[in-house]
Chains A and B, each alone.
Chain A
Amino acid sequence: MKKRILTLLAAVCLLSAVLSGCGGGSQNGTTGTTDQSTANTQTEGPAARAAAGELNVGIAQDLDSSLDPHKTVKAGTREVMFNVFEGLLKPDASGNLNPAVAESYTVSEDHLLYTFKLRAGVKFHNGQEVTPEDVIWSYQRCGDANAPADIIQVAAFANVEMYQEGDDTVCFQLQEPNNEFASYLTTAVLPKDYTEQDTAPVGTGPFKFVSRTAQESVVLERFDDYWGEKPDLTKVTYKIIENADSILLSLQSGAVDVFAHLTTNQIQQLGDGFHVEEGTMNLVQALYLNNAEKPFDDVRVRQALCYAIDRQQILDLAFDGYGTLLGSSMYPAFSKYFDDELTNYYTYNTEKAKELLTEAGYPNGFDMTITVPSNYQSHMDTAQVIVEQLKAVGINAAIQPVTWESWVQDTYSNRQFQSTVVGVDASNMTARAMLERFVSTASRDFINYNNADYDALFAQAQACYDDGEQTALYRAMEKNLAENAANVYIQDMADFVAVRDGLEGPSFYPIYVLDLSTIHYTK
């Protein structure tokens, strides 16, 4: 009997040893800078949150591995951290660039010298004041080809000489004019030589980072030393809720107050107590075609697909009629560059599609695969409709669902695919961000588009400093993509944000962000 008890005891000890070993780590699994007590107190219920000026926002996926803005990969990370970081300039909802860390700037006659006067007294969240050294260090880090591999390179900074003048001025000396240079200066300014940026990021934005718990939450708090107008909200907790059914439950139960990027289906089930803001996702959803792969190396086949696919029916069947039809790689939020005339460049016409296919030598159609990242229900639904539509012209399409990770690696990076339905967005507010990828030498030209005219137009646009002329060139590039049917362009998807009644003010940006500083409770 004694031995039995001993063995039982031993088993219990072993279990508790493993338990305590795992639980004994530092920081209790939460990374953060500021004291944990504020991060851990949670105001309960929507009413209590409203009184305290707090907000819970639901997001459907966890953020990037690193919270360093120079390493941001996912649009979802940018969406959250937009509130924490600022560059010399900062975009607003209408697409203008406003001075942020900088107070003002001038550009020399020859468009080669940008002189930025820093705003006095701008502080980082750790209390340090922003110095010209910080600015130069931040931008050089993004232009330095020898920086760590996970820092996303900004090509526009590569050959720019950056130097300080006086106590509060930073100069950028360009080698050749770059009309869009200013828009790259929205890149975040970070404190020089601060090493915890990955897990405890520090910026100058209206909100400061408090803590992050893996697969659980990200907490931000109002930064009281913010240079500009201080936001109404005092604390924002992003809750990560991946399960589609749980998203609705979390809104109805009062666990979260705002949830962006919902589907029409979810919106309809929402019930009372919420209002819905409708905007656009700001991306180009298309059936992207591998232009180097047979049979899509033939422009007639690509055009035939454009004629064979009824885009309005896709919206009607898969999106309850919501969405904005597109005809090229540009979406309407880029009002300056968007050319609405291209939208109906191809109209649904199966006869014409068959003719073109016969001309191209496929009178009886062919087999093709559509690779779709299966975590995006909207792209899966779209592909489903396309498969049915293509049957009418004898094309036998099959959907190959893949995980997002394998899509990124095999389809996007290694270009091993025939066609894929996905949405492509812009990382900053330049036409270049949308159009450069289809230049034949671009590393991101995942569809292998290879058109000498297009390349020439892009080179001209880069060399051109006149804004009107450059816009015309970008529009010509869009037309080139449409004429050559680079892809079957479908739509800019509708974006629905559910907002609890009593809250106001989320505004839609031309890029994928959710600006917290404009959200407030109505008293």
Chain B
Amino acid sequence: MRYTARKILTLLVTMLVVSLLTFAAFDMISGDPAATLLGTQATPEKVEALRTEMGLNRPMLVRYGEWLAGFFTGNLGVSFQYRQPVQALLGPKMLVTLCLSLVSFVLIVVVSLPLGLLSANGKLDGLHTFLNQFCMAVPPFFTGILISWCFGICLRAFVPGDFPGLDRNLGKSLVYLFFAAVSIAIPRVAMTVRMLRSTVISEMNKPYVRTAIARGNDRRQVLWGHVLKNSLVPTVTFLGQTMAEIVAGSIVVEQVFSVPGLGRMLVASISSQDYPVVEAIVVILAFWVVLSGTLADLVNRCIDPRMGGIGK
């Protein structure tokens, strides 16, 4: 139980610190939500009046306290920019980003694990170095444009710019998200393959492998029976990090594919200084990052009981 308590505490503290930092950042950077709303119609008197109406003239800590109290009672406030409760605004967008991230993650796992093992076995050596460097070097927004053009315009597999919406057409939406996920996955797959390859190779050079082979096992048996299990722990840790980083990648890719997810919302809300929305997204992202780490940790403990198991 101590483990669980510790993890939940980490989560809460992370979310608290991140949300406070975000609040403070908004307080420090120039600009003001009221002035942004009024745009070119702003006059000092009007901005002041609107600030009062919006409650922005109170000290930062008071506003943060109020936001925090709201957060724990399930009320994330109302967006300045859309005049809607933040929950209602972000709910559908969060589902979209979650789907996009999960599809990317599954893609990364399904593609990179076999590739990594093959290349560790020396099957793909020449190809692997070239492709790997290439895939890591190309930024996701560029592959995004290429994929849209190739599969969207030429092959008509999906319609770039026309995301059907998860609630309207789940199948088509997933196809759409699949292509966006590919552009997130490509550099990540390259990294995972490389990581897996070097782990397996360094494991294969260890004395126990030599001993096992000396005792008459063939390479295959050693690889599947011993090496793989030992290579799994660093791989799972790496995939945990990947899961957290996918969300960062989705911010760019959502723009290129016009996917209505959290990333686009975050960028737009930062520039319009819509801090109730930004706060909520930042907290969701912090939750996601801590959760990814925790999940990787849990899986590792199942794989290797020496790490202490889960319940202790």
A residues apposed to B, CB below 8 Å: 2-4, 6-8, 10-11, 15, 18-19, 21-29, 31, 40-42, 44-45, 56, 58, 62, 64-66, 73-74, 148-150, 152, 198-199, 213-216, 239, 241-243, 245-246, 249-256, 403-406, 408-410, 412-413, 443-444
Question: In the complex, which of the residues A8, A21, A152, A245 has the most CB atoms of chain B within 10 Å of its own CB atom?
Answer: A245
| Cα separation A256 to B160 with both chains bound (whole Å) | 10
Contact yes or no, B160 A246, CB < 8 A: yes
9 tightest A-B CB contacts, nearest first: A250-B161, A25-B88, A3-B311, A255-B161, A255-B162, A149-B49, A73-B39, A23-B91, A4-B310
B41 at the interface (CB under 8 A from A): yes
The answer, among A3, A214, A239, for a CB contact under 8 Å with B84, is: A214
A3-B310, A4-B301 are known contacts; what are 8 more A-B pairs with Cβ within 8 Å?
A: A6-B311, A22-B284, A41-B168, A45-B159, A149-B38, A249-B152, A253-B159, A404-B271
- The residue on A at minimum CB distance from B164 is A42
**A-chain residues with CB within 8 Å of residue B81 when the two chains form the complex:** 62, 65, 214
Contact yes or no, A24 B87, CB < 8 A: yes
B93 at the interface (CB under 8 A from A): yes
Contact yes or no, A23 B92, CB < 8 A: yes
**B-chain residues with CB within 8 Å of residue A256 when the two chains form the complex:** 161-162
| Cα separation A255 to B148 with both chains bound (whole Å) | 12
25 residue pairs A–B, Cβ–Cβ below 8 Å: A3-B309, A7-B310, A18-B284, A19-B95, A19-B98, A27-B88, A29-B88, A29-B90, A31-B84, A64-B37, A64-B39, A73-B41, A152-B41, A199-B84, A214-B89, A214-B265, A241-B258, A242-B264, A242-B268, A243-B255, A249-B152, A250-B161, A254-B159, A255-B258, A405-B31
- Least distance between B145 CB and chain A CB atoms (Å): 5
The answer, among B88, B145, B260, B272, for a CB contact under 8 Å with A405, is: B272
- The residue on A at minimum CB distance from B153 is A252
Contact yes or no, A73 B38, CB < 8 A: yes
Contact yes or no, A408 B84, CB < 8 A: no
**Chain B interface residue number, banded:** 35 or more
B:162-187 near A, CB below 8 Å: 162, 164-165, 167-168
- Least distance between A120 CB and chain B CB atoms (Å): 35
Contact yes or no, A243 B85, CB < 8 A: no
Contact yes or no, B30 A253, CB < 8 A: no
The answer, among A23, A42, A58, A409, for a CB contact under 8 Å with B95, is: A23
Chain B 266-277 per-residue mask, 1 if CB under 8 angstroms from chain A, else 0 = 001001110000
| Cα separation A152 to B42 with both chains bound (whole Å) | 9
| Cα separation A114 to B85 with both chains bound (whole Å) | 44
B23 at the interface (CB under 8 A from A): no
- Among B60-68, B200-208, B232-240, B291-299, the one that faces the other chain is B291-299
- Least distance between A76 CB and chain B CB atoms (Å): 11
B82 at the interface (CB under 8 A from A): yes
B134 at the interface (CB under 8 A from A): no
- The residue on B at minimum CB distance from A41 is B168
**B-chain residues with CB within 8 Å of residue A250 when the two chains form the complex:** 160-162, 258
Contact yes or no, B87 A410, CB < 8 A: no
- Least distance between A78 CB and chain B CB atoms (Å): 12
| Cα separation A45 to B164 with both chains bound (whole Å) | 12
Contact yes or no, B298 A253, CB < 8 A: no
| Cα separation A3 to B280 with both chains bound (whole Å) | 32
B35 at the interface (CB under 8 A from A): yes
- Least distance between B256 CB and chain A CB atoms (Å): 6
- The residue on B at minimum CB distance from A256 is B161
The answer, among B47, B256, B260, for a CB contact under 8 Å with A213, is: B260
Contact yes or no, B265 A215, CB < 8 A: yes
Question: In the complex, which of the residues A21, A73, A444 has the most CB atoms of chain B within 10 Å of its own CB atom?
Answer: A73
| Cα separation A231 to B30 with both chains bound (whole Å) | 45
**B-chain residues with CB within 8 Å of residue A66 when the two chains form the complex:** 83
Question: In the complex, which of the residues A2, A215, A251 has the most CB atoms of chain B within 10 Å of its own CB atom?
Answer: A215
**A-chain residues with CB within 8 Å of residue B162 when the two chains form the complex:** 56, 239, 250, 253-256
Contact yes or no, A409 B42, CB < 8 A: yes
B43 at the interface (CB under 8 A from A): yes
**A-chain residues with CB within 8 Å of residue B271 when the two chains form the complex:** 403-405
| Cα separation A150 to B87 with both chains bound (whole Å) | 25
B:228-258 near A, CB below 8 Å: 255-258
| Cα separation A404 to B3 with both chains bound (whole Å) | 48
B16 at the interface (CB under 8 A from A): no
Contact yes or no, B80 A65, CB < 8 A: yes
The answer, among A11, A22, A56, A215, for a CB contact under 8 Å with B291, is: A11
Contact yes or no, B88 A406, CB < 8 A: no
The answer, among A148, A152, A241, for a CB contact under 8 Å with B53, is: A148
Chain B 281-307 per-residue mask, 1 if CB under 8 angstroms from chain A, else 0 = 000100100010011001001100000
- Least distance between B57 CB and chain A CB atoms (Å): 12
| Cα separation A251 to B162 with both chains bound (whole Å) | 10
**A-chain residues with CB within 8 Å of residue B291 when the two chains form the complex:** 11, 15
**A-chain residues with CB within 8 Å of residue B268 when the two chains form the complex:** 62, 215, 242
- Least distance between A409 CB and chain B CB atoms (Å): 5
| Cα separation A152 to B37 with both chains bound (whole Å) | 12
**B-chain residues with CB within 8 Å of residue A252 when the two chains form the complex:** 153
| Cα separation A29 to B261 with both chains bound (whole Å) | 12
Chain B 210-237 per-residue mask, 1 if CB under 8 angstroms from chain A, else 0 = 0000000000000000000000000000
| Cα separation A482 to B178 with both chains bound (whole Å) | 57
- The residue on A at minimum CB distance from B294 is A11
Question: In the complex, which of the residues B162, B165, B167 has the most CB atoms of chain A within 10 Å of its own CB atom?
Answer: B162
With A4-B311, A23-B91, A149-B49 known to touch, is A408 a contact of B161 (CB < 8 Å)?
no
